[in-house]
Copies of this chain bind each other. A is one copy, B any other.
Amino acid sequence: MDALPESLNRLIDGLSDFPGIGKKTAERMAFYLLKSNDGWAQNLAKAIMDVKEQIHECPICHNISDTSPCSICSDTKRDPSLLCVVEDTTDLVVFEKTNHFRGKYHVLGGVLSPLDGIGPEDLHFDTLLERINGEEEVIIATNPNAEGETTALYLAKLLKEHNIKVTRLASGIPVGGDLEYTDEATLVSALEGRREI
């Protein structure tokens, strides 16, 4: 829109690149930002820069973190013999919200999906095998859908070759559902009812 200042058009374009944010919503957000107090806008801009500069992947578990290793990996009060394998950081966050799991995590970075060209070499299986010594129990907490189950079975087979105890989250999470939207009580019961596969 020619009628708008160049920087405002730039902001609208940038905001509408977010998934789920259309042009109209981006315009409304940009005008809200324009009318908001300077402090909030500056903090928002700074937070964007800080997130990109300070947050990196933990070299051990592939969680995102502003420390290396991440706060969970370096927490000596956590049980290192209990490893929860999740698809991505958002799933890890859901477990942490329950305040129930005191082991450590391993973030795969996705699931096996031949149709999307994602094979075992694209997921963090190698670093998982490197960090285990045979004493651990590995809880596979991929989503209970087709790709998640395939990934769980593949990983279970891989780990059993190394004589690792492998468990899967108990039923309780609706099949075809999504970990990120599971309520905490269901997640706790799924943790407690985990079964060996």
Contacts and interface: CB of A to CB of B under 8 A. Distances in A.
Given A7-B55, A52-B38, A66-B6, A14 B31 contact: no
B8 A30 contact: no
Given A48-B41, A55-B8, A18 B29 contact: yes
A33 interface: yes
Interface in A12-29: 14-15, 17-21, 25, 27-29
Max chain B Cβ within 10 angstroms of own Cβ: one of A17, A18, A27: A18
A127 interface: no
Contacts of A66: 5-7
A154 interface: no
B3 A92 contact: yes
B64 A34 contact: yes
A97 interface: yes
Give the number of copies in the complex. Answer: 2
A5 B52 contact: no
Contacts of A40: 14, 17
A92 B3 CA distance: 8
Contacts of A44: 11, 14-15, 48
Nearest to A13: B47
Max chain B Cβ within 10 angstroms of own Cβ: one of A8, A29, A52, A90: A52
B47 A10 contact: yes
Nearest to A30: B51
A54 interface: yes
Given A18-B33, A44-B48, 16 more contacts: A1-B93, A3-B72, A3-B93, A3-B97, A5-B55, A8-B64, A14-B40, A19-B32, A31-B89, A34-B52, A38-B52, A41-B52, A42-B48, A45-B46, A45-B48, A48-B48
Interface of A: 1-8, 10-11, 14-15, 17-21, 25, 27-34, 38, 40-52, 54-55, 64-66, 72, 89-90, 92-93, 96-97
